[in-house]
Amino acid sequence: MRRLAGVVTVIVLSALLPALAAPAEDEIQAIEKSWGAAVVANDYDKIDSLLAPGLIYAHSSGVVESKAEYMARLRSGAQRYETIDHQKIAVRVYGDTAVAHSHVRMAGKSDVRMFDDKLMMMHFWVKSNGRWQLAAHQTTLLP
């Protein structure tokens, strides 16, 4: 009887786990879009709150910045975004860590060069003190 109860418990938990993960996946999709909207709106307080202190921000150009360097470029106007359009997002949640893989269109200005790029973007989110923060950003230019 104990064995049957154990099997039933495993079956029930297996059925429930995807449903329990779905809210976190939806939350990450929403925060991805919130990050994009904050960057386009130059909402520095919102951006700062979304970025983890140890952020690794790797641009498609190969330039890698810390949180302080990235925020300084945004605040100075050296890096500006006019559009961040998520065309599709896939999310995988692993406890207090999540990976978001997106296809995005980003347009704006980097230093003196205007850009309008199709990119693959990978974001790594970590949950700390009850809130998600972006720990790593990586983009790859698509043809």
Instruction: For 117-127, write each residue's pLDDT tens digit.
Output: 999 999 999 99
- Look at phi and psi of residue 28 and say left if phi exceeds 0, alpha if psi is from -120 to 50, else beta: alpha
pLDDT of 5 reads: 53
Which residue positions in the chain have pLDDT lower than 70? Answer: 1-22
- Look at phi and psi of residue 89 and say left if phi exceeds 0, alpha if psi is from -120 to 50, else beta: beta
The predicted model scores a pTM of 0.82
- Beta strand 97-110 with 64-65: parallel, antiparallel or unpaired? unpaired
Q: What is the rounded CA–CA span in Å between residue 140 and residue 28?
A: 20
CATH 1.10.760.10 fits 2-141, yes or no: no
